[in-house]
Chain A
Amino acid sequence: NAGVTQTPKFQVLKTGQSMTLQCAQDMNHNSMYWYRQDPGMGLRLIYYSASEGTTDKGEVPNGYNVSRLNKREFSLRLESAAPSQTSVYFCASKVVQLTDTQYFGPGTRLTVL
């Protein structure tokens, strides 16, 4: 099992460019999540998908869109990147039970110039 995988690992964008961060999990998990990690701020939830076909906003959704393509894949799109979106982005997943643990991917380091 690869667990949670993310592509790309690194990306540099210019202000206004768009891009999609990809996330896939092979653990047959129902729920998937996107976080951003900024220095001194911990991780903050951007969007999550409790099950295939549903998505919900987290704490910091502005400037992002998501797609739950199927049970395995959950993508995060930046339509018009801004320097404030420079961050490390983590994808996570878990099974449906409320007490289950979230498992994290290795992250994507994004720089917006």
Chain B
Amino acid sequence: AQSVTQLDSQVPVFEEAPVELRCNYSSSVSVYLFWYVQYPNQGLQLLLKYLSGSTLVESINGFEAEFNKSQTSFHLRKPSVHISDTAEYFCAVTQGRNTDKLIFGTGTRLQVFP
């Protein structure tokens, strides 16, 4: 069965520091990969996604993620975080290439301190 592992449940970091949120998945078939962000008391919002093509994908607010097939990883990075990036981040993987069934990781809470 497919699974998604987010190894870090919490990541504390100071403002303007770089951050990496790790995501590993297990699958024997090709998949699509997503990062969602959840701000306090809100629903999930898509941050970025990998479907095909370039393995490096970027969001409009400075986050990027790189799909690494050999390591089955899709880590999320930002070179300089802001207080407003404080949120919970979820990695998700499709079952095969069907986006009807997303498998979510357990989430990483990013806490940015001034």
- In the bound complex, CA of A50 to CA of B100 (Å): 7
- In the bound complex, CA of A90 to CA of B36 (Å): 14
Nearest B residue to A100, CB-CB: B99
> Chain A's nearest CB lies how many Å from the CB of B98?
6
Contacts of B9 in A (CB 8 A): 40
- A90-113, CB < 8 A from B: 90, 92, 94, 98-107
A43 at the interface (CB under 8 A from B): yes
- A19-61, CB < 8 A from B: 31, 33, 40-45, 48, 50, 58
A4 at the interface (CB under 8 A from B): yes
Contacts of A90 in B (CB 8 A): 43-44
Contacts of B36 in A (CB 8 A): 104
Write the B69-83 contact mask toward A (1 if CB under 8 angstroms, else 0).
000000000000000
Q: In the complex, which of the residues A42, A101, A107 contacts B107, with contact meaning CB atoms closer than 8 Å?
A: A42
Contacting pair A45 B102 (CB below 8 A): yes
Contacts of B104 in A (CB 8 A): 42-44
The answer to whether residues A42 and B90 also contact, given A99-B99, A100-B99, A101-B49 and a CB cut-off of 8 A, is yes
Q: Which 5 A-B pairs have the closest CB atoms?
A: A42-B104, A104-B43, A104-B44, A43-B104, A42-B106
